[in-house]
């Protein structure tokens, strides 16, 4: 075999090896870019980061329980502000109304046997309205 033929044969083998390596790399990239694999990888990252955040939060609460309790109480008060305001204003309003002799009719929550609505009056068009 001549040196020229030997170099051509080596170049063919090197090209074949490079093609196989490229095909292997392309297959690995395709496998990594599959939506299911991407989602699984992302979920693992989120789960790991969430665990780290939870651990950090637990350590912070253990280190400062009074501050954590105060923050939690503030959040609860913020979320429950409407019902708490109605409750507090109901206590004061009831006292003021009792002192003034005011009677309130609660149409939303009333006894079904005692109807507080006015009766309906029907008139025909011929009768009309007299003033």
Model confidence pLDDT, tens digit, residues 36-56: 888 888 888 888 888 888 888
111, part of any domain: no
Q: Containing domain of residue 97, as a range?
A: 65-101
Q: Which two tokens stand for residue 96?
A: 């003021």
How many structural domains comprise the chain? Answer: 1
32, part of any domain: no
10, part of any domain: no
94, part of any domain: yes
29, part of any domain: no
| Cα→Cα distances 76→69, 82, 120, 124, Å | 10, 11, 46, 58
Q: What is the pTM assigned to this prediction?
A: 0.33
pLDDT in tens, 53-98: 888 888 888 888 898 889 989 999 999 988 888 888 777 665 555 5
């Amino acid at each position: 075999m001549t040196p020229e033929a030997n170099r051509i044969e080596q170049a063919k083998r090197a090209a074949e090896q490079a093609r196989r390596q490229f095909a292997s790399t392309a297959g690995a990239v395709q496998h990594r870019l599959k939506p299911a694999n991407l989602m699984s990888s992302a979920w693992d990252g989120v789960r790991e980061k969430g665990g780290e955040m939870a651990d950090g939060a637990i350590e912070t609460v253990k280190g400062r329980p009074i501050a954590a309790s105060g923050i939690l109480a503030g959040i609860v008060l913020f979320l429950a502000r409407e019902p708490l305001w109605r409750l507090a204003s109901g206590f004061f309003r009831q006292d003021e109304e009792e002192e003034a002799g005011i009677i309130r009719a609660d149409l939303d929550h009333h006894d079904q046997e005692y109807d507080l609505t006015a009766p309906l009056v029907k008139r025909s068009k011929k009768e009309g309205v007299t003033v």
